[in-house]
Amino acid sequence: MFKKVHLRLTLLCAGITAVIMIIMSLCYLYVSEKGLYRNQFQSFKNDINTITTNLEQQSVISMEWLSKMEAQGKYLFFVLDNGIPFLYNQLKDYEGELPKKQLLDECLNAYNNTFMIEPSVQTSSSYVSYHFEFEFTSDITNMKYFSSVINMGKASSCLEIIVLSSQESLEKQIWTQRQRFILIDITAILLLTVFSFIFTGKLLRPIMENQQKQIQFVSSASHELRTPLAVILSATECCKTAPSDKREGFLNTIQNEGLRMSSLINDMLTLSQSDNHRFSIQIKPVELDTLLMNSFEAFEPLAKEKFITFNIRLPEEALPLCSADPERISQVVSILLHNAISYTPDNGKIELALSHDKEHFCISVKDNGIGISDEDKEKIFDRFYRAEKSRSTKGHFGLGLSIAYEIVKAHGGNIFVTDADGGGSVFTVMLNT
Ligand code: ADP
């Protein structure tokens, strides 16, 4: 399911960014091509102005000058004298050459269509000239041309000088620019897809992990609930047929298993509240030494039952108050003490201690019990995790430390475990002062 979502998200992200990028590229190309065209046309007009001035200064049109200009390859000239092609124009087409005659006809047609005037009808007084610039597409050469018709009077003749400039180089420039953009866009889209894939993968990972944890949590919870439920059902069945003096034993079993289930459900509710950020923490000033003393007294009898030497070590000087939720911190200490007593064999040793420095209060529970392997140390704060060697311990579901972790985290503190000197473990809770 996540693979599909991952792919869809990748396509969506890459698609949206690609569309935006393509639209922007097209806009840029449009503006830039318009600019190129405008500049080229403007430069053609400027050239025509220069050519016109030059021609005006010649008393007789110099064919040599025109040939020189044409030889530069930028322009094509045609001269009409009273509408008749001038000697200058060799309008006969040679093989491999431009079909000049047709080109001239096409240009004059375009000129007439654009300006609706008959070129031959133009009259002009001596040395007064005017010119029009326009653009036309030749069907013969399949090319666009900038062209200009310069009307000029020389002595008794009315001359028309037609200048053509092919847009081939402009088109080449535009085409190269388009190719570059296509290449850039394709590369960018490919890179975008790769990055989108990586980023959406990173984005989805916590969600995937969370879902995995939820699945694991539900399956572990069902598993843990099934055991006491099975015991309750079989005890109920036995209770039905058992003689009355044996019934109490079955009823006690049912009650104990019921209590186990209730404690497990309470633990699961606490964790689910923490996951939904509904974990209520009532922060108030707390005397941590008094709180620890109360926990110590509560667990003393349990320790005595196992002949465990149970000590408490508190600082001698008066402590500043700690901002914390006393109920929750008591719960954390209870979890740690309960574990210490459970995982420490008879005649063992447990010490509950409190210390502080400028920034932290430090609560520690040290035992000389079975200890925790390095591999397990990384996992014991996970939900329903129990180290293999502690599996037989009844009444332990593997939720205690995960609850302690959530409570300490909600206080902005830190909880960790280390090995105790000479075997056993030390659980330390750091709370901010
Ligand atoms: P549980 O209810 O099983 O004790 P916890 O979350 O409190 O669950 O602890 C998880 C596991 O961490 C335990 O199953 C046990 O393997 C290990 N553990 C916790 N405290 C101790 C300890 N003081 N000494 C040795 N192992 C411990």
Q: 138: domain CATH number?
A: 3.30.450
Residue 283 pLDDT:
93
One domain, residues 291 and 422: yes
Q: Please answer whether residues 21 and 189 qualify as being in contact, where contact means their C-beta atoms are separated by less than 8 angstroms.
A: yes
Mean pLDDT value of segment 234-261 = 90
Q: How far is CA 293 from the centre of its chain?
A: 51
Q: Is 340 in the pocket of ligand 1 (CB under 6 A)?
A: yes
Estimate to the nearest angstrom the gap between the alpha carbon of 398 and the chain centroid: 36
Which ligand 1 atom lies nearest to the CA of residue 370?
Answer: 25
Residue 73 lies in a domain: yes
Pocket of ligand 1, candidates 299, 390, 391: which has the most ligand atoms within 8 Å of its Cβ, to mutate?
Answer: 390
How far is 261 from 255, CA to CA, in rounded Å? Answer: 10
The ligand 1 atom at the shortest distance from the C-alpha of residue 396 is 2
Same domain? For 423 and 291 the reply is yes
% of residues, the chain, pLDDT over 70: 92
Q: Determine if ligand 1 sits within 6 Å of the CB of residue 51.
A: no
Q: What is the band of 223 on the pLDDT scale with cuts at 50, 70, 90?
A: confident
Identify the pLDDT of residue 121: 45
Cβ 232 vs Cβ 254: under 8 Å: yes
Residue 319 φ/ψ, nearest 5 degrees: -95, 150
User: Is 215 a member of any domain?
Assistant: no
Query: Would you state the structure tokens that stand for residue 184, as one six-digit string?
Result: 């850039």
- Rounded average pLDDT over 50-67: 84
- Report which residue type is found at 42: Q
Spacing, Cα 354 to ligand 1 middle (Å) = 21
CB contact at 8 A, 144 and 164:
no
The answer to whether the CB of 398 is under 6 A from ligand 1 is: yes
β-sheet bridge partners, residue 134: 147
Domain boundary among 165, 192, 222: 165
Ligand 1, atom 8, lies closest to the CA of: 398
Residue 145 falls inside a structural domain = yes
Residue from 333, 372, 393 whose mutation best tests the ligand 1 pocket (most atoms within 8 A of CB): 372
Mean pLDDT of 210-233: 87
Q: How far apart are CA 29 and CA 368, in angstroms?
A: 77
Say if 342 falls within a structural domain: yes
CA of 140 to the centre of ligand 1 (A): 92
Q: 343 lies in a domain?
A: yes
State the distance from the centre of ligand 1 to the C-alpha of 216, rounded, in angstroms. Answer: 19
Which ligand 1 atom lies nearest to the CA of residue 393? 3
Ligand 1 in contact with 271 (CB < 6 A)? no
Long-range contacts of 33-36 (CB under 8 A, 24+ apart): 33/174, 33/177, 36/170, 36/173, 36/174
Q: Could you give the C-alpha distances from 72 to 25, 66, 67, 77, 245, in angstroms and in order?
A: 36, 10, 9, 12, 125
74-86 tens-digit pLDDT = 888 888 887 787 7
Q: Considering the domain boundaries, does residue 7 fall inside one?
A: no
Cα of 350 vs its chain's centroid, Å? 50
Range of weakest confidence among 30-44, 62-76, 117-131, 243-257: 117-131
> How many CB atoms are located within 10 Å of the residue 370 CB?
18
Q: Average pLDDT, stretch 14-39?
A: 94
Residue 66's nearest CA partner among 45, 48, 85, 51 is 51
Atom of ligand 1 nearest to the CA of 369: 24
Structure tokens at 415: 């909880």
pLDDT over threshold 70, residue 386: yes
157 and 292 part of one domain: no
Q: What is the pLDDT of residue 26?
A: 95
Q: What is the mean pLDDT of the chain?
A: 88
Q: 293 and 421 share a domain?
A: yes
Q: How far is CA 53 from the centre of its chain?
A: 63
Kindly state whether residue 74 falls inside one of the protein's structural domains: yes
Which letter does DSSP use for residue 306 in this model?
T
Position 45 scores a pLDDT of 94
Identify the domain containing residue 384 by its residue range: 284-432
Q: How far apart are CA 103 and CA 78, in angstroms?
A: 10
Does this model's pTM top 0.75? My answer is no
Q: How far apart are CA 231 and CA 257, in angstroms?
A: 7
Q: What is the predicted pLDDT for the residue at 87?
A: 56
Q: What is the pLDDT of residues 266-287, one digit of tens each?
A: 888 888 888 877 777 899 999 9
Segment 221-240 shows an average pLDDT of 89
The structural domain count of the chain equals 2
Residue nearest ligand 1's atom 7 by CA: 400
Q: Is 399 in the pocket of ligand 1 (CB under 6 A)?
A: yes
Confidence of residue 91 (pLDDT cuts 50, 70, 90): low
Which spans in 276-314 are helix H? 288-305
Query: Higher pLDDT residue, 39 or 395?
Result: 39
Using pLDDT thresholds of 50, 70 and 90, give the confidence band for residue 371. Answer: very high
Is the pLDDT at 124 greater than 70? The verdict is no
Q: Ligand 1 in contact with 369 (CB < 6 A)?
A: yes
Q: Is the CB of 220 under 6 A from ligand 1?
A: no
Alpha helices in 242-325 (DSSP H): 244-275, 288-305
Picking from 293, 270, 255, the residue whose alpha carbon sits closest to that of residue 397 is 270
Instruction: Indicate whether 73 pLDDT > 90.
Output: no
Of 273, 239, 298, give the one whose Cα is nearest residue 403: 273
pLDDT interval class at 125 (50, 70, 90): very low
Residue 192 inside a domain? The answer is: no
Query: The domain that contains 363 carries what CATH number?
Result: 3.30.565.10
| pLDDT of amino acid 66 | 83
Go through the chain and tell me how many residues it has: 433
* Contact present, 393 and 341 (Cβ < 8 Å): no
What CA–CA distance (Å, rounded) separates 178 from 33?
10
Alpha-carbon distances, residue 421 vs 113, 339, 425, 426 (angstroms): 104, 18, 8, 9
* pLDDT value for 140: 85
Residue whose CA lies nearest to ligand 1 atom number 13:
386
Greater pLDDT, 145 or 121: 145
Please choose, from the candidates 359, 363, 335, the residue with its C-alpha nearest in 3D space to the C-alpha of residue 428: 363
Give the closest residue (by CA) to ligand 1 atom 11.
386
- Paired tokens of 241: 């047929």
Residue 92: predicted pLDDT: 52
Q: What is the pLDDT of residue 117?
A: 55
